[in-house]
Amino acid sequence: MVLIINGILYSKDLNKAEYVPNEIILKLASETKIILPHSFTTGVAEIDAALLKFTITDISPVVPYKKDLNPRLPDINRIYRIKYTDSIMPDILSDDLSVLKHVIYAEPRYIHYETITPNDPYYSNQWHLPVIGANYAWNTTQGDTNVIIAIVDDAIDLDHEDLAANIFVNWAEYNGTAGLDDDFNGYVDDVHGWDFAENDNDPNPVIGSLFIL
Ligand SMILES: [Ca+2]
Ligand SMILES: [Ca+2]
Ligand SMILES: [Ca+2]
């Protein structure tokens, strides 16, 4: 069956730290040797000379080492997190390192915050949404009613308060003739999708069946 879900969201102002103190993220070029976790140097003379001015407490890969990376994909083996104890700001240190040879980029370890949360009064009960990072996706997009989302499931409660206003409508059938396949898609009166289990045009759950939404 097919439906549209469009959440209503609002923005909130946030005033939090922009990045993690005393840490930067460094990506090195593919010709550099892999740095083992918990190192203190990079093995690249020019970079290590620059880092000598600081108290480096840890250089570790951001992601575990991957063998046989597809050369057409970005090299994730040479992205490192550098920790230090000096008072220099991460953006200053990363600017200094960015200009060095073999450095693809150096940047503070930015902290990403959600700026948008749904107005659903039960949002706080839906612990899975922050777990999958949905709140960060909403910073980029909050949905579009022009996008039709197809969902394959046991059934759907067409009258559910969270869904009813956004359920897909096949207007050719809605305005068509009962008993006729008005849009010639092979399904008669499929106004809100199709129930392939029962082979009928009512995707609502069968009365008496276990159905949780
Ligand atoms: Ca049809
Ligand atoms: Ca029809
Ligand atoms: Ca049915």
205 Cβ neighbours under 8 A, 6+ residues apart: 154, 155, 156, 157, 211
Q: What is the tally of structural domains in the chain?
A: 1
Report the alpha-carbon distance of residue 86 to residue 96 in Å, rounded.
Answer: 15
Residue 25 lies in a domain: yes
- The residues near 147 (Cβ < 8 Å, ≥ 6 apart) are 4
CB 25 within 8 Å of CB 79: yes
- Does position 4 have pLDDT exceeding 90, yes or no? no
Is 161 domain-assigned? no
Q: How far is the CA of 168 from the centre of ligand 1 (A)?
A: 13
Query: By percentage, how much of the chain surpasses pLDDT 70?
Result: 90
Is 124 within a domain?
A: no
Q: Which ligand is nearest to the CA of 176?
A: 2
Q: How far is the CA of 172 from the centre of ligand 1 (A)?
A: 8
63: Cβ–Cβ under 8 A, 6 or more apart, which residues? Answer: 76, 77, 79
Is 86 a domain residue? Answer: yes
Per-residue model confidence as pLDDT tens digits over 51-102: 999 999 999 999 999 988 888 888 999 999 999 999 999 999 999 999 999 9
Give me the phi and psi of 90, to 5 degrees please: -60, -35
CA-to-CA dists, residue 173 to 8, 148, 169, 209, angstroms:
28, 17, 8, 28
Span from the CA of 190 to the centroid of ligand 2 (angstroms): 7
Q: Is residue 181 a part of any domain in this protein?
A: no
197 alpha carbon to ligand 1 midpoint, in Å? 17
Looking at residue 208, what is its pLDDT? 63
Nearest to 18 by CA among 95, 90, 86: 90
Give the domain range for residue 46: 19-110
pLDDT digits (tens, 9 = 90+) for 191-209: 999 999 899 999 998 876 5
**Segments of the chain assigned E as strands:** 2-3, 9-11, 19-28, 56-61, 79-84, 103-110, 116-118, 149-150
Dihedral sign from CA coordinates of 45, 41, 59, 21? negative
Residue 81 in any domain: the answer is yes
Query: Would you state the torsion angle of the CA atoms of residues 187, 188, 191, 194, taken in this order, to the nearest 10 degrees?
Result: -40
Task: Identify the CATH number of the domain in which residue 105 sits.
Answer: 3.30.70
Give the number of the ligand closest to the Cα of residue 179: 2
Does the residue 75 lie in any domain?
yes
Cα distance between residue 90 and residue 113, in whole Å: 19
What would the mean pLDDT of 175-182 be, rounded to a whole number? 97
Is the pLDDT score of 210 beyond 80? no
- Do the domain assignments include residue 51? yes
pTM of the model: 0.56
Cα 171 to ligand 3 centre (Å): 20
Higher-pLDDT residue of 13 and 91 is 91
